[in-house]
Chains A and B, each alone.
Chain A
Amino acid sequence: MSRALTIAGYLAAVVVAVAVDLLARRRGARLATAGELFSRLSSRRAGRVAVAFGWWWLGWHFFVR
């Protein structure tokens, strides 16, 4: 049961993330899509480098460890 709850929690986080992204695509929405969020984060060099390191870590974690 605990395992199912944990997995349900992860799935809920993914569903909410997708919902936020979709809601942000409506005209006049005050939310931001994931793309806009990353664009904003990447608008300065420090942000771009941080995002790139985050992406690198993701690959390292899953493919190398």
Chain B
Amino acid sequence: MTGEAVGWLRAHRRAATVAGLVVALLYSWVAGHFSTFTTSAAVATFVPGAIGVGVAFGSRRSVAVRPRVGRRAWLAWALVLAGFTALELAALFLGADHAHPTVSDLVNPWFGPVPARAALFAAWLGFGYWLSRR
């Protein structure tokens, strides 16, 4: 992005934010119409994903205030993650059937209707934006 473009975006931050939000919502609405296992869904998911990874790779931003995260904090989150992973793996190895559903089995029905799928896609984009601001 050129210096002029960056300057314009800074000067019109609110307008740029609203425009970005509108584009993201429209994109999500369109992406919500694409079923799984289709090329269109793959392309619609690939593009923002590639942009996100590219931004993460290209960013030279150094976190101004690097949060101090002590051992106890890491341990607490590691335990949460380990518990969740253990449950998921147990369900997977027990057959991932009705009695032992994985998280994907449980939430897949949410991705059926177009409005829900579009909303979940928007949530995924929003989560990506939130992560990029960390």
Where the two chains meet, the residues of A that have a C-beta atom closer than 8 Å to any C-beta of B are 2-3, 6-7, 9-10, 12-13, 16-17, 20, 24, 30-32, 34-43, 45, 48-49, 51-53, 55-56, 58-65
Range of interface residues on chain B?
A: 35 or more
Please, which residues of chain A bring their CB within 8 A of the CB of B83? Answer: 9, 12-13, 16
Contact call B76/A42, Cβ cutoff below 8 A: no
6 A-B Cβ contacts within 8 A?
A13-B80, A35-B134, A40-B66, A43-B62, A51-B131, A52-B128
Q: Is the pair B73, A39 in contact by a Cβ cutoff of 8 Å?
A: no
B15 within 8 A of A: no
Q: How far is the CA of A49 from the CA of B91 in the complex (A)?
A: 29
Looking at chain B's contact residues, the main secondary structure is: helix
- Given A24-B73, A42-B134, A56-B53, A63 and B101 touching (CB < 8 A)? no
Which residue of chain B is the closest to A60 with respect to CB atoms?
B45
Interface majority SS (helix, strand, loop, mixed), chain A: helix
Does B2 make an interface contact (CB < 8 A)?
A: no
In this assembly, does B111 line the interface, its C-beta being within 8 Å of a C-beta of chain A?
A: yes
* B134:A64 contact, CB within 8 angstroms: no
| Residue B113 interfacial (CB < 8 Å) | no
Q: Does B124 have its Cβ within 8 Å of any Cβ on chain A?
A: yes
Contact call A30/B80, Cβ cutoff below 8 A: no
Measured between C-beta atoms, what is the minimum distance from B112 to chain A in Å? 12
Is B21 among interface residues, defined by CB-CB distance under 8 A? Answer: no
How many whole Å from A63's CB to the nearest CB in chain B? 5
**Given known A-B contacts A32-B73, A52-B53, A60-B45, A38 and B120 have beta carbons under 8 A apart:** no
B59–A10 touching, CB < 8 Å: no
Instruction: Give Cα distance in the complex from A32 to B132, angstroms.
Output: 18
Contacts A7-B106, A63-B31 given; does A39 touch B66 at CB 8 Å = yes
Closest chain A residue to B73, Cβ basis: A32
